[in-house]
A and B are shown apart, each in its own frame.
Chain A
Amino acid sequence: MTIQFRPDETYRDDYTYANSPECIARAPFPFPDDEYMYSMNLEPHVSVGDGALKAIFDIDEHYISECRDRAITLEKDPGMHYVSAPHMMEAQWDLLELIMESYASDYPEYFTLEKDGTRWHWTNTLLNIDDTFTFGDPSTLPYEPMEYITRQAQGDWVLQEERDGTLYWGAGIATQRADYSLRFNLGMAWHEFHGPVPLLKETGMLDRALKFLLRLRCGHPVRRLNWSLTVNPRLDVSAESLPDWAPDRTTVTAENAGKLVYLRIELQPLHRLPRSNAIVFPIRTYLLNLEDIATNPAWAKRMHRVLKSLNQELVDYKGFTRYRDAAVEWLSQFDDGQDEEVVKAG
Protein backbone atom coordinates (compact mmCIF):
# COMPACT_ATOMS: atom_id res chain seq x y z
CA MET A 1 0.00 0.00 0.00
CA THR A 2 1.41 3.38 -0.98
CA ILE A 3 0.64 6.37 1.18
CA GLN A 4 0.80 9.91 -0.23
CA PHE A 5 2.54 11.56 2.69
CA ARG A 6 2.02 15.20 3.58
CA PRO A 7 5.47 15.90 4.97
CA ASP A 8 5.27 19.64 5.70
CA GLU A 9 2.16 20.03 7.84
CA THR A 10 2.14 21.98 11.10
CA TYR A 11 0.18 21.23 14.28
CA ARG A 12 0.84 24.65 15.81
CA ASP A 13 1.10 28.33 14.86
CA ASP A 14 -0.26 28.42 11.28
CA TYR A 15 -1.91 24.96 11.51
CA THR A 16 -1.45 23.74 7.95
CA TYR A 17 -2.55 20.23 8.92
CA ALA A 18 -5.33 18.89 6.65
CA ASN A 19 -6.82 15.52 5.77
CA SER A 20 -7.18 14.08 2.26
CA PRO A 21 -10.59 12.54 1.47
CA GLU A 22 -8.93 9.11 1.65
CA CYS A 23 -7.57 9.83 5.10
CA ILE A 24 -10.99 10.92 6.33
CA ALA A 25 -12.65 7.80 4.96
CA ARG A 26 -10.17 5.49 6.74
CA ALA A 27 -10.57 7.05 10.21
CA PRO A 28 -12.04 4.89 12.99
CA PHE A 29 -15.32 6.70 13.66
CA PRO A 30 -15.93 6.30 17.40
CA PHE A 31 -19.72 6.55 17.76
CA PRO A 32 -21.64 3.27 17.45
CA ASP A 33 -24.89 4.89 18.63
CA ASP A 34 -26.71 8.22 18.65
CA GLU A 35 -26.04 8.51 22.37
CA TYR A 36 -22.59 8.14 23.88
CA MET A 37 -21.65 6.73 27.25
CA TYR A 38 -18.54 4.90 28.38
CA SER A 39 -18.76 1.21 27.72
CA MET A 40 -16.51 -1.84 27.82
CA ASN A 41 -15.72 -1.30 24.16
CA LEU A 42 -12.73 -3.63 24.13
CA GLU A 43 -12.48 -6.01 21.20
CA PRO A 44 -9.75 -8.30 19.88
CA HIS A 45 -7.23 -6.27 17.90
CA VAL A 46 -7.50 -8.22 14.66
CA SER A 47 -6.98 -6.78 11.18
CA VAL A 48 -10.22 -5.43 9.73
CA GLY A 49 -10.75 -3.73 6.33
CA ASP A 50 -8.32 -1.35 4.63
CA GLY A 51 -8.50 1.54 7.06
CA ALA A 52 -7.10 2.38 10.47
CA LEU A 53 -7.82 -1.09 11.85
CA LYS A 54 -5.77 -2.96 9.27
CA ALA A 55 -2.22 -2.75 10.67
CA ILE A 56 -0.98 -3.66 14.14
CA PHE A 57 0.05 -0.01 14.58
CA ASP A 58 -1.52 2.24 11.98
CA ILE A 59 0.37 4.96 10.15
CA ASP A 60 -1.13 7.41 7.69
CA GLU A 61 -0.33 10.41 5.48
CA HIS A 62 0.54 12.53 8.54
CA TYR A 63 3.36 10.25 9.76
CA ILE A 64 6.30 12.48 8.84
CA SER A 65 4.70 15.72 10.04
CA GLU A 66 3.52 14.16 13.28
CA CYS A 67 7.01 12.82 14.07
CA ARG A 68 8.40 16.31 13.46
CA ASP A 69 5.82 17.88 15.80
CA ARG A 70 6.78 15.34 18.48
CA ALA A 71 10.45 16.29 18.11
CA ILE A 72 9.59 20.00 18.45
CA THR A 73 7.58 19.37 21.62
CA LEU A 74 10.27 17.14 23.16
CA GLU A 75 12.99 19.69 22.48
CA LYS A 76 10.95 22.57 23.88
CA ASP A 77 10.49 21.10 27.37
CA PRO A 78 12.94 18.30 28.21
CA GLY A 79 11.69 15.93 30.91
CA MET A 80 8.06 16.94 30.51
CA HIS A 81 6.79 14.73 27.70
CA TYR A 82 8.90 11.62 28.05
CA VAL A 83 9.43 10.00 31.45
CA SER A 84 10.39 6.51 32.52
CA ALA A 85 10.97 4.91 35.90
CA PRO A 86 14.45 3.35 36.02
CA HIS A 87 13.13 -0.21 36.35
CA MET A 88 11.17 0.00 33.08
CA MET A 89 14.13 -0.67 30.80
CA GLU A 90 13.11 -4.23 29.98
CA ALA A 91 9.62 -3.06 29.00
CA GLN A 92 11.23 -0.34 26.88
CA TRP A 93 13.11 -2.95 24.87
CA ASP A 94 9.92 -5.01 24.57
CA LEU A 95 8.18 -1.98 23.11
CA LEU A 96 11.00 -1.19 20.71
CA GLU A 97 10.86 -4.73 19.40
CA LEU A 98 7.06 -4.72 19.05
CA ILE A 99 6.96 -1.45 17.12
CA MET A 100 9.90 -2.33 14.88
CA GLU A 101 8.52 -5.77 14.04
CA SER A 102 5.01 -4.46 13.50
CA TYR A 103 6.04 -1.55 11.27
CA ALA A 104 8.46 -3.73 9.28
CA SER A 105 5.83 -6.38 8.68
CA ASP A 106 2.94 -4.03 7.89
CA TYR A 107 4.94 -1.42 5.93
CA PRO A 108 7.96 -3.21 4.40
CA GLU A 109 8.32 -0.47 1.78
CA TYR A 110 9.19 2.06 4.52
CA PHE A 111 10.71 0.06 7.39
CA THR A 112 13.10 -2.89 7.58
CA LEU A 113 14.47 -4.82 10.53
CA GLU A 114 17.31 -7.35 10.29
CA LYS A 115 18.42 -9.29 13.35
CA ASP A 116 21.78 -10.98 13.72
CA GLY A 117 21.62 -12.24 17.27
CA THR A 118 21.47 -9.11 19.41
CA ARG A 119 22.91 -7.01 16.56
CA TRP A 120 19.90 -5.31 14.96
CA HIS A 121 19.78 -3.21 11.81
CA TRP A 122 16.80 -0.85 11.48
CA THR A 123 15.92 1.38 8.57
CA ASN A 124 13.17 3.97 8.35
CA THR A 125 13.19 5.54 4.90
CA LEU A 126 10.45 8.05 5.80
CA LEU A 127 12.70 9.74 8.36
CA ASN A 128 16.02 8.80 6.71
CA ILE A 129 17.14 6.62 9.60
CA ASP A 130 19.56 3.73 9.17
CA ASP A 131 20.85 2.47 12.53
CA THR A 132 22.65 -0.60 13.78
CA PHE A 133 22.51 -1.24 17.51
CA THR A 134 22.76 -3.97 20.13
CA PHE A 135 19.40 -5.08 21.46
CA GLY A 136 19.50 -4.76 25.26
CA ASP A 137 22.34 -2.22 25.32
CA PRO A 138 20.96 1.33 25.66
CA SER A 139 24.38 2.86 25.05
CA THR A 140 24.14 1.81 21.38
CA LEU A 141 21.11 4.08 20.78
CA PRO A 142 20.97 7.89 20.77
CA TYR A 143 17.99 7.86 23.20
CA GLU A 144 16.51 5.39 25.66
CA PRO A 145 14.85 2.60 23.63
CA MET A 146 11.30 3.84 24.23
CA GLU A 147 12.08 7.41 23.25
CA TYR A 148 14.15 6.24 20.29
CA ILE A 149 11.39 4.16 18.71
CA THR A 150 8.43 6.37 19.63
CA ARG A 151 10.12 9.39 18.06
CA GLN A 152 9.51 7.33 14.91
CA ALA A 153 5.94 6.34 15.72
CA GLN A 154 2.55 8.00 15.49
CA GLY A 155 0.55 8.41 18.69
CA ASP A 156 1.35 8.56 22.40
CA TRP A 157 2.60 5.47 24.23
CA VAL A 158 2.30 4.53 27.88
CA LEU A 159 3.90 1.50 29.52
CA GLN A 160 2.08 0.03 32.50
CA GLU A 161 3.57 -2.50 34.84
CA GLU A 162 1.54 -5.09 36.71
CA ARG A 163 2.03 -5.17 40.47
CA ASP A 164 -0.19 -6.02 43.44
CA GLY A 165 -3.13 -6.85 41.20
CA THR A 166 -3.24 -3.51 39.44
CA LEU A 167 -1.49 -1.55 36.69
CA TYR A 168 0.96 1.29 37.35
CA TRP A 169 2.23 3.97 34.96
CA GLY A 170 5.89 3.13 34.57
CA ALA A 171 6.86 5.11 31.49
CA GLY A 172 5.33 7.22 28.78
CA ILE A 173 5.87 9.46 25.81
CA ALA A 174 3.01 11.90 25.45
CA THR A 175 3.32 14.88 23.11
CA GLN A 176 -0.38 14.83 22.21
CA ARG A 177 -2.00 14.19 25.57
CA ALA A 178 -5.46 15.52 26.26
CA ASP A 179 -5.08 17.89 29.22
CA TYR A 180 -3.17 15.67 31.60
CA SER A 181 0.35 15.78 32.98
CA LEU A 182 2.65 12.85 32.34
CA ARG A 183 4.96 13.73 35.24
CA PHE A 184 1.95 13.87 37.54
CA ASN A 185 0.53 10.54 36.37
CA LEU A 186 3.81 8.61 36.50
CA GLY A 187 3.69 5.97 39.23
CA MET A 188 -0.10 6.10 39.56
CA ALA A 189 -2.18 2.95 39.87
CA TRP A 190 -5.18 2.17 37.65
CA HIS A 191 -7.82 3.57 40.00
CA GLU A 192 -5.72 6.66 40.74
CA PHE A 193 -5.08 7.82 37.20
CA HIS A 194 -8.70 7.22 36.26
CA GLY A 195 -9.78 9.25 39.31
CA PRO A 196 -10.82 12.40 37.45
CA VAL A 197 -12.93 10.56 34.85
CA PRO A 198 -16.60 10.99 35.74
CA LEU A 199 -19.11 8.13 35.95
CA LEU A 200 -16.49 5.45 35.45
CA LYS A 201 -16.09 4.13 38.96
CA GLU A 202 -19.77 4.46 39.77
CA THR A 203 -20.77 2.12 36.95
CA GLY A 204 -18.30 -0.57 38.03
CA MET A 205 -16.61 -0.24 34.66
CA LEU A 206 -13.23 0.61 36.14
CA ASP A 207 -13.04 -2.67 38.08
CA ARG A 208 -14.30 -4.74 35.16
CA ALA A 209 -11.86 -3.20 32.70
CA LEU A 210 -8.92 -3.79 35.05
CA LYS A 211 -9.89 -7.44 35.58
CA PHE A 212 -10.13 -7.87 31.83
CA LEU A 213 -6.75 -6.28 31.17
CA LEU A 214 -4.94 -8.25 33.85
CA ARG A 215 -5.90 -11.34 31.86
CA LEU A 216 -4.45 -9.90 28.65
CA ARG A 217 -2.10 -12.44 27.08
CA CYS A 218 0.96 -11.94 24.95
CA GLY A 219 0.11 -12.17 21.25
CA HIS A 220 -3.59 -11.45 21.83
CA PRO A 221 -3.90 -7.65 21.76
CA VAL A 222 -7.20 -5.86 22.28
CA ARG A 223 -8.29 -2.41 21.15
CA ARG A 224 -10.70 0.30 22.15
CA LEU A 225 -11.64 3.75 20.91
CA ASN A 226 -11.94 6.93 22.89
CA TRP A 227 -12.53 10.49 21.75
CA SER A 228 -12.57 14.14 22.68
CA LEU A 229 -12.82 17.53 21.00
CA THR A 230 -10.09 20.12 20.44
CA VAL A 231 -10.02 23.54 18.87
CA ASN A 232 -7.51 23.63 15.98
CA PRO A 233 -5.47 20.62 14.85
CA ARG A 234 -3.15 20.88 17.82
CA LEU A 235 -1.39 17.82 19.21
CA ASP A 236 0.29 19.41 22.24
CA VAL A 237 -2.72 19.99 24.48
CA SER A 238 -1.04 19.01 27.73
CA ALA A 239 -2.06 20.30 31.14
CA GLU A 240 1.27 22.12 31.26
CA SER A 241 0.58 24.10 28.09
CA LEU A 242 -3.06 24.86 28.98
CA PRO A 243 -2.54 28.65 28.87
CA ASP A 244 -1.31 28.33 25.26
CA TRP A 245 -4.34 26.53 23.89
CA ALA A 246 -7.30 27.01 26.24
CA PRO A 247 -7.98 30.57 24.94
CA ASP A 248 -8.77 29.02 21.53
CA ARG A 249 -11.93 27.61 23.08
CA THR A 250 -13.42 31.08 23.16
CA THR A 251 -13.00 31.58 19.41
CA VAL A 252 -15.58 28.99 18.33
CA THR A 253 -18.89 30.19 16.86
CA ALA A 254 -21.74 28.37 15.12
CA GLU A 255 -20.34 29.77 11.87
CA ASN A 256 -16.69 28.70 12.19
CA ALA A 257 -17.15 25.48 14.20
CA GLY A 258 -16.87 23.38 11.04
CA LYS A 259 -13.31 24.55 10.51
CA LEU A 260 -12.12 25.07 14.10
CA VAL A 261 -13.59 22.16 16.05
CA TYR A 262 -11.71 18.87 15.69
CA LEU A 263 -12.85 15.44 16.74
CA ARG A 264 -9.88 13.72 18.37
CA ILE A 265 -10.28 9.99 17.91
CA GLU A 266 -8.01 7.81 20.02
CA LEU A 267 -7.35 4.29 18.79
CA GLN A 268 -5.81 2.24 21.62
CA PRO A 269 -4.46 -1.19 20.67
CA LEU A 270 -3.23 -2.73 23.94
CA HIS A 271 -0.52 -5.40 23.98
CA ARG A 272 0.99 -7.55 26.72
CA LEU A 273 4.78 -7.47 26.40
CA PRO A 274 6.76 -10.73 26.48
CA ARG A 275 9.79 -10.17 28.74
CA SER A 276 8.61 -7.53 31.19
CA ASN A 277 4.94 -8.61 31.41
CA ALA A 278 4.09 -4.90 31.10
CA ILE A 279 1.13 -3.70 29.04
CA VAL A 280 1.56 -1.01 26.42
CA PHE A 281 -1.23 1.53 25.95
CA PRO A 282 -0.76 3.27 22.62
CA ILE A 283 -2.99 6.30 22.10
CA ARG A 284 -3.07 6.85 18.34
CA THR A 285 -4.83 10.15 17.65
CA TYR A 286 -6.80 11.03 14.51
CA LEU A 287 -7.83 14.66 14.03
CA LEU A 288 -10.88 15.40 11.86
CA ASN A 289 -12.61 18.75 11.90
CA LEU A 290 -16.38 18.95 11.64
CA GLU A 291 -16.12 19.79 7.92
CA ASP A 292 -14.17 16.57 7.45
CA ILE A 293 -16.84 14.69 9.40
CA ALA A 294 -19.54 16.29 7.26
CA THR A 295 -18.08 14.79 4.06
CA ASN A 296 -19.85 11.70 5.36
CA PRO A 297 -23.44 12.90 6.01
CA ALA A 298 -24.25 9.88 8.18
CA TRP A 299 -21.29 10.67 10.45
CA ALA A 300 -22.33 14.31 10.76
CA LYS A 301 -25.88 13.34 11.64
CA ARG A 302 -24.73 10.91 14.29
CA MET A 303 -22.18 13.27 15.78
CA HIS A 304 -24.84 15.98 16.01
CA ARG A 305 -26.97 13.65 18.11
CA VAL A 306 -24.06 12.48 20.25
CA LEU A 307 -22.90 15.98 21.15
CA LYS A 308 -26.43 17.26 21.69
CA SER A 309 -27.36 14.48 24.13
CA LEU A 310 -23.99 14.08 25.84
CA ASN A 311 -24.00 13.99 29.65
CA GLN A 312 -22.88 17.39 30.96
CA GLU A 313 -20.31 15.80 33.29
CA LEU A 314 -18.57 14.29 30.27
CA VAL A 315 -18.71 17.61 28.42
CA ASP A 316 -17.02 19.32 31.36
CA TYR A 317 -14.43 16.58 31.74
CA LYS A 318 -13.60 16.60 28.04
CA GLY A 319 -13.27 20.37 28.21
CA PHE A 320 -15.69 21.68 25.59
CA THR A 321 -18.34 23.20 27.83
CA ARG A 322 -17.71 26.59 26.27
CA TYR A 323 -18.33 25.56 22.67
CA ARG A 324 -20.56 22.49 22.79
CA ASP A 325 -23.61 24.50 21.69
CA ALA A 326 -21.76 26.09 18.76
CA ALA A 327 -20.61 22.67 17.53
CA VAL A 328 -24.09 21.21 17.90
CA GLU A 329 -25.62 24.12 15.99
CA TRP A 330 -23.11 23.79 13.14
CA LEU A 331 -23.77 20.04 12.89
CA SER A 332 -27.55 20.46 13.04
CA GLN A 333 -27.65 21.36 9.31
CA PHE A 334 -26.85 17.70 8.60
CA ASP A 335 -29.54 16.20 10.80
CA ASP A 336 -33.00 16.04 9.21
CA GLY A 337 -34.33 14.13 12.19
CA GLN A 338 -34.81 10.99 10.09
CA ASP A 339 -33.23 7.78 11.38
CA GLU A 340 -30.93 5.83 9.18
CA GLU A 341 -28.04 3.52 9.77
CA VAL A 342 -24.67 5.17 10.09
CA VAL A 343 -22.02 3.59 7.93
CA LYS A 344 -19.09 2.65 10.10
CA ALA A 345 -15.54 3.06 8.93
CA GLY A 346 -13.24 0.16 8.27
Chain B
Amino acid sequence: MLITGIKSRPVYDQLRPLPGGIRHLVAGQGSGGRAMLRLLDEMPEQGMQTTLLYSQESFSGLDFLAELQQRQVAELRVYPSNQELVADLERILGNARMGTRLYLSGSESFIGTAMQVATHYDMNSDEVLREHAGSFVRRIWCVHCDSYTENVTQRVFQCPGCNAMLVVRDHYSRRLAAFQAVKADAEVPGELPEAEELDT
Protein backbone atom coordinates (compact mmCIF):
# COMPACT_ATOMS: atom_id res chain seq x y z
CA MET B 1 0.00 0.00 0.00
CA LEU B 2 1.82 3.06 -1.25
CA ILE B 3 -0.55 5.78 -0.14
CA THR B 4 -1.19 4.57 3.39
CA GLY B 5 -0.08 6.94 6.09
CA ILE B 6 0.59 9.86 3.77
CA LYS B 7 -2.53 11.89 3.88
CA SER B 8 -1.36 14.83 1.86
CA ARG B 9 0.34 12.86 -0.94
CA PRO B 10 -1.25 13.74 -4.28
CA VAL B 11 -3.69 11.27 -5.80
CA TYR B 12 -2.65 10.49 -9.38
CA ASP B 13 -4.67 9.74 -12.51
CA GLN B 14 -4.31 7.29 -15.34
CA LEU B 15 -3.44 8.81 -18.71
CA ARG B 16 -6.31 8.65 -21.22
CA PRO B 17 -7.18 10.87 -24.18
CA LEU B 18 -8.74 14.13 -22.99
CA PRO B 19 -11.74 15.31 -25.02
CA GLY B 20 -11.65 18.70 -26.67
CA GLY B 21 -7.91 18.68 -27.16
CA ILE B 22 -6.55 20.34 -30.29
CA ARG B 23 -2.92 19.95 -29.34
CA HIS B 24 -1.61 17.25 -27.05
CA LEU B 25 1.58 17.63 -25.04
CA VAL B 26 2.69 14.27 -23.68
CA ALA B 27 5.59 14.64 -21.28
CA GLY B 28 7.28 11.83 -19.46
CA GLN B 29 10.43 10.65 -17.83
CA GLY B 30 12.13 7.29 -17.36
CA SER B 31 9.60 4.55 -16.72
CA GLY B 32 6.84 7.04 -17.45
CA GLY B 33 7.53 6.25 -21.12
CA ARG B 34 5.39 3.14 -20.77
CA ALA B 35 2.26 5.17 -19.98
CA MET B 36 3.11 7.55 -22.86
CA LEU B 37 3.15 4.61 -25.29
CA ARG B 38 -0.14 3.29 -23.94
CA LEU B 39 -1.73 6.72 -24.31
CA LEU B 40 -0.51 7.03 -27.90
CA ASP B 41 -2.11 3.67 -28.67
CA GLU B 42 -5.42 5.03 -27.40
CA MET B 43 -5.36 8.13 -29.63
CA PRO B 44 -4.12 6.93 -33.04
CA GLU B 45 -5.93 9.71 -34.93
CA GLN B 46 -4.20 12.51 -33.04
CA GLY B 47 -0.60 11.70 -33.82
CA MET B 48 -0.01 14.80 -35.89
CA GLN B 49 -1.44 17.00 -33.13
CA THR B 50 0.79 15.41 -30.54
CA THR B 51 4.17 16.55 -29.25
CA LEU B 52 6.19 14.17 -27.08
CA LEU B 53 8.63 15.40 -24.47
CA TYR B 54 10.80 12.70 -22.99
CA SER B 55 13.56 12.88 -20.38
CA GLN B 56 15.97 9.97 -20.16
CA GLU B 57 16.75 10.71 -16.52
CA SER B 58 15.62 7.69 -14.58
CA PHE B 59 15.98 6.42 -11.03
CA SER B 60 15.16 2.86 -12.09
CA GLY B 61 17.23 2.94 -15.31
CA LEU B 62 14.28 2.30 -17.62
CA ASP B 63 14.38 4.03 -21.01
CA PHE B 64 11.57 3.98 -23.58
CA LEU B 65 13.17 6.33 -26.10
CA ALA B 66 13.60 3.69 -28.81
CA GLU B 67 9.90 2.76 -28.71
CA LEU B 68 8.82 6.40 -28.64
CA GLN B 69 10.92 7.11 -31.74
CA GLN B 70 8.82 4.56 -33.67
CA ARG B 71 5.62 6.55 -33.18
CA GLN B 72 4.13 8.86 -35.77
CA VAL B 73 3.82 12.18 -33.97
CA ALA B 74 4.30 15.83 -34.84
CA GLU B 75 7.49 16.05 -32.81
CA LEU B 76 9.56 14.17 -30.28
CA ARG B 77 11.79 16.27 -28.05
CA VAL B 78 14.37 14.47 -25.93
CA TYR B 79 16.16 15.76 -22.83
CA PRO B 80 19.01 14.42 -20.70
CA SER B 81 17.38 15.62 -17.46
CA ASN B 82 13.93 16.25 -15.99
CA GLN B 83 14.94 19.79 -15.18
CA GLU B 84 15.63 20.58 -18.83
CA LEU B 85 12.33 19.03 -19.88
CA VAL B 86 10.42 21.13 -17.34
CA ALA B 87 12.24 24.30 -18.44
CA ASP B 88 11.27 23.56 -22.07
CA LEU B 89 7.69 22.78 -21.03
CA GLU B 90 7.56 26.24 -19.50
CA ARG B 91 8.59 27.79 -22.82
CA ILE B 92 6.09 25.67 -24.76
CA LEU B 93 3.18 26.45 -22.44
CA GLY B 94 4.11 30.13 -22.63
CA ASN B 95 3.18 30.01 -26.33
CA ALA B 96 0.34 27.51 -26.02
CA ARG B 97 -3.20 28.20 -27.17
CA MET B 98 -6.68 27.17 -26.05
CA GLY B 99 -7.28 23.48 -26.57
CA THR B 100 -3.86 22.41 -25.32
CA ARG B 101 -3.96 19.25 -23.22
CA LEU B 102 -1.07 18.15 -21.01
CA TYR B 103 -0.27 14.56 -20.01
CA LEU B 104 2.46 13.88 -17.46
CA SER B 105 3.96 10.55 -16.54
CA GLY B 106 6.92 9.80 -14.35
CA SER B 107 8.24 10.15 -10.83
CA GLU B 108 6.50 12.19 -8.17
CA SER B 109 9.24 14.80 -8.33
CA PHE B 110 8.91 15.08 -12.10
CA ILE B 111 5.13 15.37 -12.01
CA GLY B 112 5.27 17.81 -9.10
CA THR B 113 7.73 20.18 -10.76
CA ALA B 114 5.94 19.95 -14.13
CA MET B 115 2.67 20.73 -12.34
CA GLN B 116 4.24 23.86 -10.86
CA VAL B 117 4.61 25.08 -14.44
CA ALA B 118 1.09 23.97 -15.48
CA THR B 119 -0.39 25.69 -12.43
CA HIS B 120 1.54 28.84 -13.25
CA TYR B 121 -0.31 28.90 -16.60
CA ASP B 122 -3.64 28.20 -14.85
CA MET B 123 -4.23 24.88 -16.55
CA ASN B 124 -7.36 23.30 -15.08
CA SER B 125 -7.82 19.77 -13.82
CA ASP B 126 -9.73 18.88 -17.02
CA GLU B 127 -6.74 19.96 -19.11
CA VAL B 128 -4.03 17.96 -17.32
CA LEU B 129 -3.64 14.29 -16.38
CA ARG B 130 -0.85 12.87 -14.25
CA GLU B 131 0.13 9.23 -14.02
CA HIS B 132 2.73 8.12 -11.53
CA ALA B 133 5.39 5.69 -12.73
CA GLY B 134 8.36 4.04 -11.12
CA SER B 135 9.33 4.24 -7.49
CA PHE B 136 8.00 6.71 -4.97
CA VAL B 137 11.39 8.25 -4.21
CA ARG B 138 10.74 11.61 -2.69
CA ARG B 139 11.71 15.17 -3.41
CA ILE B 140 12.37 16.82 -0.06
CA TRP B 141 12.29 20.43 1.10
CA CYS B 142 14.46 21.32 4.09
CA VAL B 143 12.46 23.66 6.29
CA HIS B 144 15.65 25.11 7.80
CA CYS B 145 17.80 26.02 4.79
CA ASP B 146 15.10 26.13 2.07
CA SER B 147 16.90 23.64 -0.20
CA TYR B 148 15.56 20.66 -2.16
CA THR B 149 16.92 17.13 -2.35
CA GLU B 150 15.84 14.68 -5.06
CA ASN B 151 15.37 10.91 -4.84
CA VAL B 152 15.32 10.52 -1.07
CA THR B 153 14.59 6.96 0.02
CA GLN B 154 15.39 7.07 3.75
CA ARG B 155 13.30 8.51 6.59
CA VAL B 156 16.45 10.06 8.08
CA PHE B 157 19.08 11.62 5.83
CA GLN B 158 21.69 14.36 5.81
CA CYS B 159 20.69 17.62 4.13
CA PRO B 160 23.20 18.56 1.42
CA GLY B 161 22.21 22.18 1.96
CA CYS B 162 22.86 22.67 5.68
CA ASN B 163 24.35 19.29 6.72
CA ALA B 164 21.69 18.79 9.38
CA MET B 165 20.32 15.28 9.87
CA LEU B 166 16.72 15.54 8.73
CA VAL B 167 13.63 13.43 9.31
CA VAL B 168 11.08 13.31 6.49
CA ARG B 169 7.52 14.14 7.44
CA ASP B 170 4.65 12.54 5.52
CA HIS B 171 3.42 15.93 4.41
CA TYR B 172 3.45 17.10 0.80
CA SER B 173 3.16 20.61 -0.65
CA ARG B 174 2.09 20.86 -4.28
CA ARG B 175 3.28 24.46 -4.44
CA LEU B 176 6.81 23.37 -3.50
CA ALA B 177 6.38 19.94 -5.16
CA ALA B 178 8.09 18.38 -2.16
CA PHE B 179 7.74 16.66 1.17
CA GLN B 180 8.85 18.48 4.30
CA ALA B 181 11.85 17.53 6.40
CA VAL B 182 12.94 18.94 9.76
CA LYS B 183 16.00 18.52 11.96
CA ALA B 184 15.89 14.93 13.19
CA ASP B 185 17.83 15.46 16.41
CA ALA B 186 16.42 18.87 17.30
CA GLU B 187 15.51 17.85 20.86
CA VAL B 188 18.79 16.16 21.79
CA PRO B 189 21.69 16.64 19.37
CA GLY B 190 22.89 13.26 18.16
CA GLU B 191 19.76 11.41 19.27
CA LEU B 192 18.29 10.29 15.95
CA PRO B 193 15.02 8.54 15.21
CA GLU B 194 15.29 4.98 13.97
CA ALA B 195 16.49 4.69 10.39
CA GLU B 196 13.74 3.43 8.13
CA GLU B 197 13.26 3.00 4.42
CA LEU B 198 10.54 5.26 3.08
CA ASP B 199 7.67 3.58 1.29
CA THR B 200 9.33 4.09 -2.05
Contacts and interface: CB of A to CB of B under 8 A. Distances in A.
Nearest to A80: B146
B187 A246 contact: yes
A183 B176 CA distance: 9
Contacts of A250: 187-188
Interface in B95-147: 125, 141, 143-144
26 contacts: A181-B143, A183-B176, A184-B141, A184-B143, A184-B173, A187-B175, A188-B8, A188-B173, A188-B174, A188-B175, A191-B7, A192-B8, A193-B8, A194-B7, A195-B7, A195-B171, A196-B8, A196-B169, A240-B143, A240-B144, A242-B144, A243-B144, A243-B164, A243-B183, A247-B186, A247-B189
For the complex of A and B, list the 3 residue pairs with the smallest distance between their C-beta atoms, beginning with the closest.
Answer: A195-B8, A187-B175, A195-B7
Interface string B136-170: 00000101100000000000000000001000011
B62 interface: no
A249 B187 contact: yes
A185 B170 contact: no
Interface residues of A, number: 24
Nearest to A179: B182
B54 interface: no
A239 B180 contact: yes
A201 interface: yes
Interface string A162-174: 0010000000000
The residue among A186, A194, A246 with the most chain B CB atoms within 10 A of its own CB is A246
Contact of A243 (B8, B170, B173, B186): B186
Contacts of A187: 173-175
Q: How large is the interface on B (under 10, 10 to 19, 20 to 34, 35 or more residues)?
A: 20 to 34
Nearest to A248: B187
Contact of B180 (A181, A201, A249): A181
Nearest to B187: A246
Interface of A: 164, 181, 183-188, 191-196, 201, 239-240, 242-243, 246-247, 249-250, 322
A226 B125 CA distance: 34
Interface in B1-23: 6-8
A283 to B, nearest CB: 19
A149 B53 CA distance: 47
Contact of A242 (B8, B182, B188): B182
The residue among A181, A183, A193, A196 with the most chain B CB atoms within 10 A of its own CB is A181
Given A184-B143, A186-B173, 7 more contacts: A183-B176, A185-B173, A186-B175, A187-B173, A192-B172, A242-B144, A249-B187
Nearest to A201: B7
A187 B164 CA distance: 27
The residue among B164, B170, B183, B189 with the most chain A CB atoms within 10 A of its own CB is B183
A259 B182 CA distance: 28
A164 B141 CA distance: 27
Contacts of A246: 183, 186-187
B174 A196 contact: no
B126 to A, nearest CB: 11
Contact of B182 (A191, A192, A239, A249): A239
Contacts of A164: 125
Nearest to B164: A243
A184 B186 contact: no
Contacts of B189: 247
A322 B191 CA distance: 13
B99 to A, nearest CB: 22
Contacts of B176: 183-184
A247 B187 contact: yes
Contact of B7 (A196, A239, A249): A196
Contacts of B8: 188, 191-193, 195-196
A35 to B, nearest CB: 24
A279 B8 CA distance: 22
Interface in B73-92: none
A201 B7 CA distance: 9
Contacts of B169: 196
A186 B180 CA distance: 13
